[in-house]
Chain A
């Protein structure tokens, strides 16, 4: 696969404060990469350096094979960047705002007009294109921002906290839009956020960024594997025991569950079993419970999500 973003040994200092510390990262073509980290972790600074908008203290940044510190203009030609909390010229209409950006990218006026209308339709703003941006809602502004990014037909899109301040429905739609566009056009997306759920929904790969350091990087499932090497699976089972022909008490069942291969720990709590195991034992577990004459009211598999990973890493981050 082609590398779209390559960063090695990237360092940025503000005075004595180390904002980004020896960051190495690479993102492949067509990938949606999530940069996850708390506020002030250096996500925005990293993005600014990717675009050559701020000076790099050490290290090397290559976007689409172009050195971003040496040749920021070429990079900006190929990269669409949606800044955090983007602003528009309020007394211009959405279309005019978009056209201005298109013209700054040196797209001929007729072509720009055609493209702009197409993109506005794609992001769902075609019916409000002639309204002034000041009347736009937060979600509409954000979608206009995305249109702004798309009009130059970028190879890479960088979104800095794009879902900030959107309502849940708006977030969902916005994320769907990004995924759809990325898949359709094969655009590489770098997505920074401190909301793990959003990242989990859309990103192929995730980098966890705390205090200027990339603590972990990879697919979400791999990250869970890295972190929780033991007992990755937790199964919760609820049983009903109001039948008359019960031969084994619940304590006995607990012991039997413990004998299933791979199960490490079983706890019983008021008709609920919590089973921790190395592999997926839901099959055996359900059979066992039913065979013993209990009714199985529910069985849920809990997989470790980004949530747990996030917390785990942030605890480590604090320790640094």
Chain B
């Protein structure tokens, strides 16, 4: 009896062992197959590299870059002449001379940040408007799609290459302005100024990449590059010209009388403020002004109570950043939203050779 039990238990034990072995092998097999299906990033890098090369060699990019660079140089010279005077007059510590280089101008030319805010969207649109549609029209999209790369590599590569090109350009311009200031003045920027400028540059990259994403989305949706370019420009014009007009008309209807109560006026101002918050360019303007002008303490309307007891001084960089945090989040959200939509459209799409 005992031996029987022993035998049974032994056989069961060996079975378990065998089972374990099988599982173990299975496990190894799975992990191996997992390794083979685990895609390396090498093809992605190749794609990004090619996109960057294409951008830089493209006349469109060269021309736009020249325009932006020239505009910035122009403002730089006029501001430098101007700022040297102001510095001579007002040699206090809070002068933020380097920030003035980005925001002030002598009136002959708009300042640097205006140029970036104005030409940035154009730049983003021009980099992205034919991203997918031109590949589709040339018949190269289906050729690339026939290679063993995940479909999203294509838009990811387009997007990343665009961002890299934009970043290089904007950082180059910002540092050019900084360097010019350094050369003329001979004093280095303070750490805070430097940080503010770097953060401003990073956020302007986010802003331009919003337009890039928007135009990539249009280029996925529309087969004709011209359609997507025009649509991109239309959106940009809508937000810079028409939307503020519409907001004005709406707001006019709610305008309280001169003798209305404080709270009514406050609500009215709030409404005015919030209505423009969905505009990407307004968001960016607010970010710019808070970051580059440290004395900006609030973006929306403030009540007298809120103002009470405030020290009339500049904000520290952390506080400025905190002030525009909602705007930064909004801008990022808009960018991601565009990306999400492009993703959804593109992944579901059937790709035929042409058209």
Binding site for B on A (CB under 8 A): 44, 48, 51, 53-55, 71, 73-74, 76-77, 79-81, 83-91, 100-101, 103-106, 145, 148, 152, 160
Is B144 interfacial (CB 8 A cutoff)? Answer: yes
Q: From the candidates B140, B350, B354, name the one contacting A89 in the complex (CB within 8 A).
A: B140
Contact call A48/B37, Cβ cutoff below 8 A: no
Q: What is the bound-complex CA distance between A106 and B146, given in angstroms?
A: 14
Q: What is the bound-complex CA distance between A90 and B143, given in angstroms?
A: 14
Q: What is the bound-complex CA distance between A148 and B138, given in angstroms?
A: 16
Q: A100-B46, A103-B42, A105-B43 are in contact. Are A87 and B143 (CB under 8 A)?
A: yes
Residue of A nearest to B142 (CB): A83
Contact call B46/A89, Cβ cutoff below 8 A: no
Task: Count B-side interface residues using an 8 Å CB cutoff.
Answer: 26
Is B352 interfacial (CB 8 A cutoff)? Answer: yes
Contact call B350/A106, Cβ cutoff below 8 A: no
Q: What is the bound-complex CA distance between A152 and B42, given in angstroms?
A: 15
Contact call A90/B138, Cβ cutoff below 8 A: yes
Q: A100-B46, A103-B43, A105-B148 are in contact. Are A44 and B143 (CB under 8 A)?
A: no
Residues of B within 8 A of A44 (CB): 352-353
Q: A44-B352, A54-B350 are in contact. Are A83 and B146 (CB under 8 A)?
A: yes
Q: What is the bound-complex CA distance between A105 and B149, given in angstroms?
A: 8
Q: What is the bound-complex CA distance between A261 and B37, given in angstroms?
A: 65
Q: What is the bound-complex CA distance between A106 and B39, given in angstroms?
A: 10
Binding site for A on B (CB under 8 A): 37, 39-40, 42-43, 46-47, 50, 57, 138-140, 142-150, 350-354
Q: What is the bound-complex CA distance between A252 and B143, given in angstroms?
A: 66
Residues of A within 8 A of B46 (CB): 100, 103-104
Contact call B142/A104, Cβ cutoff below 8 A: no
Residues of A within 8 A of B147 (CB): 76, 101, 104-105, 152
Residues of A within 8 A of B145 (CB): 53
Tell me the smallest distance from the CB of A190 to a CB of chain B, in Å: 13
Seed contacts A54-B350, A83-B353, A106-B42; 13 additional CB < 8 Å A-B pairs = A44-B352, A53-B146, A53-B351, A54-B351, A71-B37, A76-B147, A86-B139, A86-B142, A86-B143, A87-B140, A103-B46, A104-B47, A105-B43
